[in-house]
Structure formats: structure tokens, C-alpha cells
Amino acid sequence: MKNLNELINMAKEQQTKKLAVAACHDEEVLKAVISAAEKELIEPILIGDIEKTNKLAKELSLEIENYEKVDLTDLTDIAVKAVKYVSEGKADFVMKGLIDTSILLKEVLNKDYGLRTDSLLSHVMVYEVPTYHKLVFLTDGGMNIEPDLDSKVKITKNAIKVSKALGNKNVKVSILAAKEKVNPKMPATVDADKIKQLWKDGKFEDGTVIDGPLALDLAISKEAAETKGFNSEVAGDTDILLVPNIEMGNGIGKSLTYFAKAKSAGIIMGAKAPVVLVSRADTHEAKLNSIALGSVISAYK
């Protein structure tokens, strides 16, 4: 997949998925959700303060009369209801509205009715970068601060699922560090080498190629790899960029958005269903893309 328009089209072509919107009484989220519904990407279930939601819809000239609504004002009750809708099969995935991330994810991880798995919740961003030849996936620049080796393996597997859901049968993963040589004084390089060895030992699903440690230039530029004499099936053709910590992921992501003018979509993986969690700073287009991404992944899962 080379651009996010293909993602939108993929979501349109599949069976429409139901999206539980937790705390729907938010202007930007409501606009994105109704836009996605009008494009037949999803069927929304609006959970939250319905009086406020109706008022917003009227102000924004949005038609919400025909969508299912659940009137709740307490944020914990809203989170519980949204998660239960998914766990009980009444919805396919969930989206964060005007609610604290911690409140929603606490219910996602609830042992009794939540969406907990043996994996780890992690954030995956998908970028359409004007200077790159295909979509690139970045993880984890949004949730896990300083993941250990086991967490990095789970984060990688979550991102591979996203790439495969978008139709990529041969997923190439670059494990990023500051250099490509293993240095005991640089833990990122040590972990990268261990993950690569786990891949060689068959610990990742078929159709995956993993290399690391790799500096960013080697991961995304064939010219840089040729200049440095670095031979790798992944170099210059990376699908997934696995970062060692949240600082690198956040820095690369924001650089792509603000310097490179990249378009994006984001999702939280590791639960039984994808969780759409967007920033208030995200554009309307990015929110719409994220909803489409969640729909496609829910169909794949």
C-alpha cells in the first residue's frame, strides 16, 4: 500500500464495522466519526452525553438521528459501556472521544469484561511520506516509554499485524539505533541484535524479515546503504521502524508530520480489538484515516 487513500478504499470495500465512540460529545471527534459514517467506513455507536452531542451536531449541521446512542455522563461508565459493547460483540472496535486515555485503557485492560490479551498495548503510526515509496509504520512513539526486550518483541508483533492487515504479505522491520554495530554500552543495539536472532530462530510469523540494529538512514535509504557498503534486504525498503524508546519515536513522528508534511493514521494494538486514540492536535484527515485503519484491522483480526 503506497498511500492512505488506498486505506480508505480498503475500508469502503469491506463489510461495514461498528465503532463504539467513548465520550462522543467532542466536536472534532464527532465530525470525524460522522464523516467516516457518511463515507460508509463505519457504523457509529455514540456513547456519552447525548444532550451535548445533539447540540454539537446541530451547530455543526451533522445528521446523527439514525445512529445508535447511549446516554451516559460519567466518564468511567462511558468507558465501561464502550468496552463492553466490543467484548459482547455489539461493536467491532472502540474510539476515544472526550475522555482521559487512562480511564478508557483501564477498562480495555479490565480482567472481567475488557479486551486484555497476553500481548502488550502499543501504539502504531502509519505515515504517507511524500519522499518515501510506500507507507511506513512507526512504533512505539506514543505509549511505551522505555520498553525492555520482551516488550519490544510484543510491540514488533503488534506492528506486523497492522502491516499485514493492510495487505502486506512480506513485512520488513528495521530495529532502530544510532549505529548498526552492536555496542554493549548502547542497550538499543544489544536488544536489536537479540530480536534479530529471535527472528532467525523462527519466533516471528512467516512473511517477516527483521534486521537491526540499523541507523535511520540505512533503514529508509538504499543510497545510504550502498554508500556505507551495508547489505540488507530491509535497508531502503523498510515497512516498520521499531524505535528503542518513546523519545525517538515521538521525535521521528513529529518530524514526519511537521517537517515532511506526512499524512498519518494511528492505532493502539495489543487488545482483542483495535483502539482508535487520536490527539486533539491531529487533523480531521488524520482522525478519519485512523478510523479507517481501525476498521480494516478489526476486519483482519
Kind and range of the H or E run holding 157: helix 149-165
DSSP-assigned beta bridge partners for residue 69: 46
Q: Under the phi-then-psi rule, with left for phi > 0, alpha for psi from -120 to 50, and beta for the rest, what region is 43? A: beta
Q: Give residues with Cβ within 8 angstroms of 95, minimum separation 6.
A: 19, 20, 21, 22, 29, 33, 275, 276, 277, 278, 291, 294
pLDDT value at residue 138: 98
- Residue 33 above 80 pLDDT? yes
pLDDT value at residue 37: 96
Every domain of the chain and the residues it spans: 4-116+271-300, 126-258
pLDDT value at residue 242: 98
pLDDT value at residue 74: 97
Q: Please answer whether residues 82 and 58 qualify as being in contact, where contact means their C-beta atoms are separated by less than 8 angstroms.
A: no
For 159-195, write each residue's pLDDT tens digit: 999 999 999 999 999 999 999 999 999 999 999 999 9
Taking domain 4-116+271-300, whether its CATH number is 2.60.40.1930 is answered by no
- Residue 301 above 70 pLDDT? no
Q: Please answer whether residues 141 and 290 qualify as being in contact, where contact means their C-beta atoms are separated by less than 8 angstroms.
A: no
Asked, colleague to colleague, whether 4-116+271-300 and 126-258 share their fold, the answer is no
pLDDT value at residue 279: 81
For 74-102, write each residue's pLDDT tens digit: 999 999 999 999 999 999 999 999 999 99
pTM: 0.95
- CATH code given to domain 126-258: 3.40.718.10
Which DSSP category does 262 fall into?
Answer: -
